[in-house]
Amino acid sequence: MDSVRSDRNGASSRIPVALKILIAGGFGAGKTTMVGSVSEIRPLQTEEVLTGVEGADDTGGVEGKTTTTVTMDFGRITITEDLQLYLFGTPGQDRFWFLWDELSEGALGAVVLADTRRLADCFPSIDYFEQRGTPFVVAVNCFDPDQRFGADAVGRALDLDEGVPVVLFDAREPMGARNVLIELVEYVARRQLAAAASR
């Protein structure tokens, strides 16, 4: 469904289809890093310094983390001439989850980032998208070479529904992040084709 418009000289140009993708996951899983590494525009970030209030943020396993997303991250990536993805990184702590309903409105799907040092932190994101019927892929952020686990092992640990893709990548690497987004778009397309065939 491309739109075509003409400029003042009569030349036509395509308006690419823009799809909304959520980047979710637990505190410190790499959401801001992923959006920043893959975005072709300067990403909008709403990072603030951690409060330091005891019990407000669990930094176990991510002791070096000093900031957190308080609203969202936003970036954009062009996949093809006809397709752009708008990326919305969600805040990770539960005190900001009231924003998720607004951010997820109209989303094609989601990427749930998993950090194997704190794997349980991605369960709330998975539950949220399963309850809403939002397609998602799990992207395991492999920034610690000593904490590598295979995609199948992570999928079993998370008790994912059959067919939910699990991808290993490094959120700091633009091509890896791009491949995760392509995997999500292809997964959504496969689900839509299967749903159409079953009608």
Tell me what pLDDT residue 53 has.
44
Residue where the block lists tokens 């109209």: 106
pTM for this entry: 0.78
* CATH architecture for residues 3-197: 3-Layer(aba) Sandwich (3.40)
CA distance 98 to 88: 15
192: which 2 tokens? 């839509």
CA distance 174 to 169: 10
CA distance 132 to 25: 16
List pLDDT tens digits, range 27-84. 888 898 999 999 998 876 555 454 554 444 454 555 554 455 445 788 999 888 888 9
CA distance 25 to 115: 9
Q: Where are the domains of the chain?
A: 3-197
Segment 178-193 shows an average pLDDT of 94
CA distance 115 to 28: 8
91: which 2 tokens? 């805040």
